[in-house]
Structures are given as structure tokens and as C-alpha cells.
């Protein structure tokens, strides 16, 4: 339920100040004597006028915005005050348009468009009633009164145009404010969504590292511990056989150290610090050669300067692909190709390993991570594989120059 519009939460504080200024002018005008002495004996009821104006001003300090019945009663009370002012003030010709304009402005703050149109119609009708009372039933000679008829018609048309302009202006101001509020809400939701995505990505990365540690480092350390225990037990009885277990333990230790380095490299934002991207990729290929005993063939051509976002994405995709190859593919041959043009980067990684069923591996974090990195840069990711037919990954990333 909406809160009532008050001074401390008024959406357009300047309109409230404008009301006070206009009402002050109206009050002063209601008690200042006529400059024309021949009609100065017409005094009216300035006290009642001032009192009604004060009540009308106080009503502007709290506008109802929740229940429709409250809005209708509030509007009816304003109409009563306007009628009293129109009937009983002594010099309304210099004052009454101000009251009707404020009446319409307030209606724009509490009603939707249909209600605003109704209030505007009521305001204009009351204005016409006031004109009829003052110009056609005033204590002035009939000849002068007749001359005022044409002037009253022009004044009515002018005031109608003023009301329409005020209504359109308020509708535009309120629409702009609502748009800004909706934009602020959308931005807030977008920030919350980005934060959730960031947290989700962090969680997924932690889970991936946990799996890596469990599957590689944990396995290597467990095997290392068994080799050392067996070597210690055989050291006295069979030193030659114990030496074999210790040698295997050393290999497992080296493998565990390599896994730790890979995990640390994965967590760094720029793992090739101090090197070029090409050198960092060649280092990954050499590490693969040391791991699986197969020398990869490669062709790297960076003829265009790449942004840091594209460079990191390309490195991570290659790193993830080579990690999968070393763990699962058991390939006799690995090929890597990178080409750049003024508008696009093309990357292909192909192996002749055992392959896999793509339909049964669509939820893997590694493949999904590569796809997400590519699509986040507006690129295309494609993978072709089947059991016994190796695997080929193709990546196309657009290059933008600013």
C-alpha cells in the first residue's frame, strides 16, 4: 500500500513551494482594495476567503495515495473549499485561476490518468461557474457587464488551454519520474543478478578445484603414501625392491607438485605474467608433452592485438582442453591452430584420442566453462567428438577495435 504524500516524501518538493507562493499571492490579492474606487464598496467576505485558503493550503501537506475512497473524499473537500472561495471572496477576478491550477496539479499526484481528466473537467466547470457569477451577476452597470461577456469567453478558452498544458506537463513529469524509478529498480535487480552470477561462478570454480584436488592431487598423495609405506617395510628385507617403490614415490611426488602448480595457475587472473600469450600457450603444450609423452604440433599467428579479456579466454580454453586431453584422451596426436584476422580470432584444438559421447558429457564443468567464456565475448563454440574418433574443438571470437 502506498504511503500518503507528505512534506518529507513529496516527489516534487518544488511544486509544494509553488503552491505556497501562489496561495500567498491569492491571499494577499483577496484583501487588497480595488484600485478602481467606483467598485470599492463591493467587499465580499475576505475573512472567510482567507480561512478557506488556509484550509486549502493545509490539505496540500498530506495527499492520499492508497484507498480510492480517501482520494474521492479529499477531492470533494477541495471542491467545497473552492466553491466557498468563489462565492464569498470580494475580489476573485485576480485570484481564482490559481486555486484551480493547484487543484489540477494535486489531482495528478494522487490519481491515474482517468481521474486526472475528471478533476480537470471539474476544475474547468467550476471556473466557468465563477465567471458566470462574477461577470454576469456582478454589481456593475449593465453596459460594462455586457462588454465583459466577450472578455469572459476569451478568458475561458485561455484557461482551458492552460489546464490542458498543465495536465500534459504533469503527465510528462510523472511519466519521466516513473521511468527513472523503474530504471533504478531494474539496475538494482541487475546488480543483484550479477552478484549472484559472480557468487555462483566462484562456487563452481571452488567445486572444480575441489574435484581437481580430490581426483589428481588426492589420488597422487594417497598412492605416494602407499609407495613410501611399502618401501619402508621392504627396506631391510629387500632393498632392491624397496628402491623401486621409492622411485615410484618420487614420480608421484613430482606429479602432485605439477597438479598444485596447475591449480595455482588456474586461480591466477593472468597466469602468463612476464610472458607473451604465445609463449604461455607454448608452455602449456610443452607441459602436455611431458605429461603424455606426445609432442603436439601447433600453428600460432597473432597478427592482431588482442584485448585482455580475449587473451585470458583463449588461454583458459586452451588450458582446459589440454587438461582434458592429458586426463582422458590418450591421443597419439594433438594439433593446435590459432589464426587472427582484423575481425575475428579462430582457434582449433584437435586430438586423435579415444573421444567420448557428447550427449553424456554436456554437463561437464570444463566444456561448459569453455562455452561460457566464448559466448560471453560474442563468439561461437563448437565441439565434434564421438567414441573412438578423437575430439575437435573450434572457437570463433570477434575482435573489436576501438
Task: Please report whether residue 246 resides in a domain.
Answer: no
Q: Residue 112 carries which DSSP code?
A: -
CB contact at 8 A, 392 and 349: yes
> What pLDDT score does 288 carry?
86
Cβ neighbors of 339 (< 8 A, separation 6 or more) are: 299, 301, 345, 346
pLDDT the model gives residue 141: 54
Helix (H, G, I), strand (E, B) or coil at 301: strand
Asked whether residue 241 is domain-assigned, the answer is: no
Q: Is residue 183 part of a domain?
A: no
Domain presence at residue 394: yes
> What crossing angle do the helices spanning 46-59 and 68-88 adopt, rounded to 10°?
160
The predicted structure's pLDDT at residue 142? 52
pLDDT given at position 278: 92
Query: Is residue 263 a part of any domain in this protein?
Result: no
At 38 the pLDDT is: 44
E strands, 237-309, are 297-301
Q: Specify which residues 345 forms β-bridges with.
A: 340, 397
Q: CA 255 to CA 249: how far, in whole Å?
A: 10
Residues 6+ apart with CB under 8 A from 257: none
Q: Which domain does 283 fall in, by range? A: 274-402
Q: Any idea what the Cα angle at residue 74 is, between residues 69 and 79, rounded to 5°?
A: 125
* Structure confidence at residue 384 (pLDDT): 92
**Position 367 in a domain:** yes
Average pLDDT of each block of 10 consecutive residues along the chain (402 residues)? 65 74 68 51 61 81 84 90 73 60 85 89 86 60 59 82 88 86 87 79 72 65 80 83 83 77 65 79 88 90 87 88 85 94 94 86 69 89 92 93 61
In a domain, 189, yes or no: no
Nearest to 93 by CA among 163, 140, 141, 142: 140
We report the CATH number of the domain holding residue 289 as 3.30.565.10
Q: What is the pLDDT of residue 147?
A: 62
Neighbours of 49 (CB within 10 A): 25
Domain stop point among 107, 124, 140: 140
Of the residues 140, 157, 180, which one is the last residue of a structural domain?
140
Question: pTM score, two decimals?
Answer: 0.46
Q: Helices in 43-141 by DSSP H: which ranges?
A: 46-59, 68-88, 96-110, 113-136
Note whether residue 231 is domain-resident: no
Domain count, the chain: 2
CB atoms within 10 A of CB 189: 10
pLDDT at 314: 92
Report DSSP state, residue 237.
T
Identify whether the C-beta of residue 78 lies closer than 8 Å to the C-beta of residue 56.
yes
* The pLDDT value given to residue 42: 45
Are 124 and 163 a contacting pair, CB within 8 Å?
yes
Strand-pair category, 297-301 with 334-340: parallel
Q: Tell me what pLDDT residue 382 has.
A: 95
Handedness of CA 305, 307, 308, 314 (dihedral sign): negative
Q: How does strand 391-398 pair with strand 344-351?
A: antiparallel
Domain boundary among 140, 157, 178: 140
Amino acid at each position: 500500500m502506498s504511503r500518503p504524500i507528505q512534506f518529507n516524501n513529496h516527489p516534487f518538493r518544488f511544486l509544494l513551494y509553488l503552491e505556497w507562493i501562489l496561495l500567498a499571492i491569492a491571499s494577499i490579492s483577496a484583501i487588497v482594495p480595488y484600485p478602481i474606487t467606483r467598485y470599492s464598496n463591493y467587499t465580499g467576505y475576505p475573512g472567510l476567503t482567507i480561512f478557506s485558503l488556509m484550509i486549502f493550503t493545509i490539505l496540500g501537506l498530506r495527499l492520499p495515495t492508497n484507498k480510492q475512497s480517501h482520494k474521492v473524499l479529499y477531492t470533494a473537500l477541495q471542491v467545497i473549499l473552492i466553491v466557498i472561495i468563489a462565492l464569498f471572496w470580494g475580489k476573485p477576478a485576480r485570484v481564482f485561476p490559481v486555486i484551480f491550477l493547484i487543484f489540477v496539479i494535486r489531482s495528478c499526484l494522487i490519481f491515474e490518468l482517468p481521474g486526472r481528466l475528471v478533476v480537470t473537467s471539474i476544475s474547468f466547470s467550476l471556473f466557468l461557474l465563477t465567471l458566470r457569477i462574477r461577470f454576469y451577476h456582478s454589481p456593475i452597470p449593465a453596459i460594462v457587464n455586457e462588454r465583459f461577456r466577450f472578455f469572459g469567453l476569451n478568458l475561458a478558452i485561455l484557461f482551458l488551454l492552460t489546464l490542458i498544458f498543465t495536465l500534459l506537463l504533469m503527465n510528462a513529469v510523472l511519466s519521466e519520474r516513473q521511468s527513472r524509478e523503474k530504471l533504478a529498480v531494474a539496475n538494482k535487480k541487475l546488480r543483484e543478478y550479477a552478484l549472484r552470477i559472480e557468487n555462483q561462478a566462484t562456487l563452481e570454480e571452488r567445486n572444480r578445484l575441489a574435484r581437481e584436488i580430490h581426483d589428481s592431487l588426492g589420488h597422487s598423495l594417497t598412492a605416494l603414501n602407499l609407495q613410501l609405506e611399502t618401501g619402508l617395510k621392504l627396506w631391510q628385507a629387500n632393498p632392491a625392491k624397496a628402491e623401486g617403490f621409492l622411485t615410484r614415490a618420487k614420480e608421484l611426488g613430482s606429479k602432485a607438485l605439477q597438479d598444485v602448480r596447475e591449480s595455482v595457475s588456474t586461480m591466477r587472473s593472468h597466469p602468463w605474467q612476464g610472458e607473451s600469450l604465445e609463449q604461455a600457450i607454448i608452455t602449456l603444450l610443452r607441459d602436455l608433452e611431458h605429461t603424455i609423452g606426445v609432442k603436439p604440433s601447433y600453428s600460432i599467428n597473432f597478427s592482431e592485438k588482442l584485448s585482455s579479456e580475449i587473451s585470458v579466454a583463449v588461454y583458459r580454453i586452451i588450458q582446459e582442453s589440454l587438461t582434458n586431453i592429458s586426463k582422458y584422451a590418450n591421443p597419439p596426436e594433438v594439433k593446435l591452430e590459432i589464426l587472427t584476422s582484423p575481425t575475428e580470432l579462430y582457434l582449433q584444438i584437435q586430438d586423435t584420442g579415444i573421444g567420448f559421447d557428447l550427449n553424456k558429457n554436456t554437463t561437464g564443468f570444463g566444456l561448459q566453462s569453455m562455452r561460457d567464456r566464448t559466448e560471453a565475448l560474442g563468439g561461437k563454440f563448437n565441439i565434434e567428438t564421438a567414441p573412438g574418433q578423437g575430439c575437435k574443438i573450434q572457437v570463433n571470437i570477434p575482435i573489436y577495435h576501438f
